[in-house]
Amino acid sequence: MISLSQLWMPILASSVVVFVLSSLIHTVLKWHEADYLPLPNEDEIRAVINRGSPAAGQYVVPHCPDMKAMKTEQTRKKFVEGPVGFVVLRRPGAPTMGPALASWFVYLLVVGVLAAYIASRTLPVGTSIAGVFRLIATVAFLTYAGGSVQAGIWMGKPWSAVGRDVVDAAIYAIATGLVFGYAYPH
């Protein structure tokens, strides 16, 4: 059996590789720009939201505290008339990329550690590059793609945006699998 400490290098290297790839996808290819549409009356909507002074958090429109409320005529009418959606509000202030990028890198490390843990418990020393790649890429893909697919199912995230996220996940999974495949103890 392989110890997790023996896999620190592919954990760190795959995190760096995926971080660079994701940066290139978002800054050079920019294929996620189509994921976020502007509201035609943004200033009016901002004014209405600001009047309510909501705290940072996740909101749903229309709001139903339970299934009983869903059955009332008033609530049904709200759903039929629309809008129906989810709104995520952040604290006011200029966006800063530093904390988000740091959190993203920590997440990449966590994915690497979890993939390494699974590999260390299932793959013996000497497993072929292809065997290591297959397991690690599968674990990484499920991790990177899962959240977006769930958002498509439950929150109405457009399937075109989910599709781009799944392509990203495949790229990240391939990179992670390759790094582990070549760095795994053989």
pLDDT digit string, tens, across residues 4-44: 999 999 999 999 999 999 999 999 999 999 999 999 999 99
Three-class secondary structure of residue 61 per DSSP: strand
Please state the domain extents for the chain: 4-45+95-183
Question: What is the rounded CA–CA span in Å between residue 133 and residue 11?
Answer: 13
pLDDT digit string, tens, across residues 84-97: 999 999 999 999 99
Question: What is the rounded CA–CA span in Å between residue 38 and residue 161?
Answer: 15
pLDDT digit string, tens, across residues 160-172: 999 999 999 999 9
Query: pTM to 2 decimals?
Result: 0.91
Residue type, 5: S
Give, as one character, the DSSP assignment of residue 62.
Answer: S
